[in-house]
């Protein structure tokens, strides 16, 4: 097993991921403060809510965050499950494992940031502290995930 997976950046990213996962569940602590018992369930491109549901819909956001954490943690532990379109020798497989770990860590962190961001802004809009959700919090993690994927694929095709 590669020891790089147990380095301090790994633990920092893992701790941040767990903190973001907990942040997904924090808005569930005070459902009574929500105006009319409804929460926004969909946002348009400008961040304005264009759909609403009951307060139980916040639970689904938190559960999606938990599901993402579990699936990404499993895929991080088993990067050999990544299907690559090139034939790899043993050195290439080891290189794939190293970079697969890095890709999964960054992707997990970005996905959990996205889920926590949506959970909190949904809660803030429901309690009347905000009217729209700033869209930078959606675009930033998506761009970071795409950048990580492009870097991963670039390294994969140019590994030797």
User: For 129-139, what is each residue's pLDDT tens digit?
Assistant: 889 999 999 99
Spatial contact of 4 and 98, defined as CB atoms under 8 Å apart: yes
Q: Is residue 142 part of a domain?
A: yes
Q: Is residue 66 part of a domain?
A: yes
- Judge whether residue 61 has pLDDT over 80: yes
Spatial contact of 17 and 66, defined as CB atoms under 8 Å apart: no
Q: Is residue 150 part of a domain?
A: yes
Nearest to 126 by CA among 44, 28, 5, 25: 28
Q: Is residue 64 part of a domain?
A: yes
Q: What burial letters (b/e) apply to 90-119, b meaning 16+ CB within 10 Å?
A: eeeeebbbbbbbbbbbbbbbbbbbbbbbbb
Number of domains the chain contains: 1
Write down the pTM of the prediction. Answer: 0.82
Domain range enclosing 100: 3-27+54-78+92-157
pLDDT digits (tens, 9 = 90+) for 71-97: 888 887 776 666 666 676 777 777 777
Q: Is residue 41 part of a domain?
A: no
Q: Is residue 47 part of a domain?
A: no
Q: Is residue 18 part of a domain?
A: yes
Nearest to 55 by CA among 30, 76, 74: 30
């Amino acid at each position: 097993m590669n020891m790089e997976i147990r380095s301090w950046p790994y633990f920092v990213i893992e701790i941040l991921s767990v903190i973001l996962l907990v942040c997904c569940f924090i808005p569930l602590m005070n459902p009574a403060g929500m105006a009319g018992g409804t929460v926004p369930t969909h946002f348009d491109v400008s961040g304005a809510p264009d759909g609403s549901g009951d307060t139980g819909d916040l639970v689904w956001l938190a559960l999606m965050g938990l599901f993402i954490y579990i699936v990404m943690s499993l895929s991080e532990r088993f990067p050999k499950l990544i299907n690559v379109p090139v034939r790899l020798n043993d050195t290439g497989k080891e290189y794939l494992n190293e970079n697969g770990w890095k890709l999964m860590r960054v992707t997990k962190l970005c996905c959990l940031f996205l889920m926590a961001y949506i959970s909190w802004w949904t809660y803030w809009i429901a309690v009347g502290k905000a009217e729209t959700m700033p869209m930078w919090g959606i675009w930033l993690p998506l761009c970071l995930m795409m950048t990580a994927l492009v870097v991963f694929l670039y390294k994969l095709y140019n590994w030797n």
